[in-house]
A and B are shown apart, each in its own frame.
Chain A
Amino acid sequence: MTSGLEALYRDVILDHNKRPRNFRVLEGGGKAEGSNPLCGDRLTVYLRVANGTIQEAAFQGYGCAIAIASASLMTESVKGKTLAEAEVLFEHFLRMISAPAGAPVDGLGDLSAFAGVRQFPVRVKCATLPWEALRAAAAGGVGAVSTE
């Protein structure tokens, strides 16, 4: 691999793209669709919340490797967190993928695999799409967001 592609397509991202976790419909909770019309990405994020804490998060849909892996890792990383904690995590994630190349990455666990997206500005919206949908699902229950 050459030309910074290894920074984008990290093994953990490739793995989650190939075998997305929590790729299913979750009945009875909140949900929101995220779409990126220009690329043709379309994901639905499902959320089950009790007492302000995310019991379960899942998703279904179609997208590029970055969007699918981001959704998959997101559903794993927000489980058990309060909605407020998930929002803080999203903000942290956003700061990381929009930081200058070489800026330190900390405290994000598996999500730090997306640090390489910084070098591919047009792909940032692929990584944030599921998070935008998660935020919409948490806020309104049923809705739709678009990165365009």
Chain B
Amino acid sequence: MSRGSPDPARPTPVLDAAAIRQDFPLLARRVHGKPLVYLDNAATTQKPQVVIDRVTRFYVEENANVHRGVHWLSERATDVFEEARATIGRFVNARRAEEIVFVRGTTEAINLVAGTYGRSRVGRGDEVVISTMEHHSNIVPWQILCEQQGARLRIIPITDAGELDLDAYATLLTDRTRIVSVVHVSNVLGTVTPVREIVRIAHQRGIPVLVDGAQAVAHGAVDVQALGCDFYAFSGHKMFGPTGVGVLYGTSALLESMPPYQSGGDMIRSVSFEQTRYDVPPHRFEAGTPDIAGAVGLAAAIGYLAGIGFERIVRFEQDLLEYATAAFSRLPGVRVIGTAASKAGVLSFVLDGVHPHDVGTILDREGVAIRTGHHCCQPLMDRLGLPATSRASLALYNTREDIDALVAALQKVRALLG
């Protein structure tokens, strides 16, 4: 059996992973006496020192509430917060910074759209289209909306390889379809969906499209104008930023037409007991004090990624994914789940005769952190006919040595549980 040793004929990886690992202090720690091999990046990524330092510096030097005080510190905090918004706007190539709404994460971004656009535009007999491989966070908000409004949820099927069935998708759209909400990169299968084509087909009927980009943003450049989507949702913590901050991109035209989400301070123009006038986007959707430090930290993460360059990150991760897939193909009794032509960052698998939960426990004791279970995608698991999978998910700091450690740990699983 191969131990997945590097092939000397292959070109040198385009990133200096050893140098990049130095930027992430947590990667140096040991777990159960073994060097940590962190392969649970689809759950959350580790943070580079520049992000940790930026968050600290905010609290040490700049902390005040935003959009309120006339004092110097509040102006400073407002400036860095709004600079973060502009940085994020440029990162996804939004037309204007005002198209960036700060939320807690992808889940809240989708809930925001379901609760505002959805509540005001989806009525009895209307339809919402999602796909089989959505995360629960892109299923349940629409399910609740449909129940409340008397609307219907329609599901785009997938092929056995884990690709969206685009022909079926086209036939699902009707004059009652009010929104399409699809994942950009599947957190279970790694499938990269053809967002441009999905948007093109929906826009022929004037239907807006929301893209769940939670698993996409750490692995490739996102250009919302090129994708053509109307909403794009992602989380800071899955792209080397802090937890607790996320982003909803929405086109100005749509955001301006939408009623508020949560209500309270910072989202109003004027309040009297008779009438409240709401502020313009994005502030209309940002009631209460936002995660200012989180937003600033996320902007620092974007700066970090920009310094490396997505072109190199994509090439590096594709190479690593190919390396891992090849190593898995040499492991008897291992089946990779998700074999789409276009994949990013995720390697789900099952081991014949061994439950993923046992795989996870044994790997953990080898210092290898992966995720096991249904990955918040139970309908997808039902479609695949699997109760659970094991999932290794990659980031720019993972190395071939990490994959070798994973393979060696899987051989221990085999030795122990047969």
Contact = CB atoms under 8 A, between A and B. Distances in A.
A8 interface: yes
B361 A123 contact: yes
A18 B418 contact: yes
Contacts, number: 63
B33 A37 contact: no
B362 A5 contact: yes
B383 to A, nearest CB: 14
B366 interface: yes
B355 A65 contact: yes
A39 B365 CA distance: 18
B230 to A, nearest CB: 33
Interface residues of B, number: 23
Interface stretch (B13-21, B176-184, B189-197, B372-380): B372-380
Contacts of B68: none
A65 B358 contact: yes
B96 to A, nearest CB: 42
Contacts of B358: 9, 64-66
Given A5-B416, A65-B355, A40 B387 contact: yes
Contacts of B417: 9, 14, 17, 65
Given A3-B365, A9-B416, A40 B356 contact: yes
A1 B416 contact: yes
A63 B373 CA distance: 11
B361 A8 contact: yes
Nearest to A5: B365
A58 interface: no
Contacts of A37: 374, 378
A39 B373 contact: yes
B381 A40 contact: yes
Contacts of A4: 365
A3 B373 CA distance: 23
B315 to A, nearest CB: 35
B71 interface: no
Interface of B: 32-34, 354-358, 361-362, 365-366, 372-374, 378, 381, 386-388, 416-418
Contacts of A9: 358, 416-417
Interface in A90-124: 120, 122-123
Nearest to B364: A3
A19 to B, nearest CB: 11
A41 B357 CA distance: 9
A17 B355 CA distance: 11
A64 B372 CA distance: 11
Q: At the interface, is chain B mostly helix, strand, loop or mixed?
A: mixed
Contacts of A126: 357
A2 interface: yes
A38 B388 CA distance: 9
Given A3-B33, A5-B416, A39 B361 contact: no
Nearest to A18: B418
A39 B418 contact: no
Given A62-B387, A64-B357, A65-B358, A40 B374 contact: yes
A42 interface: yes
The 4 A-B pairs with the shortest beta carbon distances in the complex, nearest first, are: A40-B387, A40-B388, A3-B365, A64-B355
Nearest to B415: A1
Given A62-B387, A64-B355, A39 B362 contact: no
A126 B361 CA distance: 12
B365 A63 contact: no
A65 B358 CA distance: 7
A38 B373 contact: yes
B366 A3 contact: yes
Contacts of B378: 37
A18 B33 CA distance: 30
A67 to B, nearest CB: 8
A74 B387 CA distance: 23
A144 B417 CA distance: 29
A15 to B, nearest CB: 11
Interface in A38-68: 38-42, 62-67
Contact of B387 (A1, A18, A41, A65): A41
A65 B373 CA distance: 14
A126 to B, nearest CB: 7
Given A3-B33, A64-B358, A39 B416 contact: no
8 contacts: A2-B365, A3-B32, A5-B361, A5-B416, A38-B373, A39-B357, A64-B356, A122-B361
Contacts of B365: 2-5
Nearest to A65: B358
A77 to B, nearest CB: 22
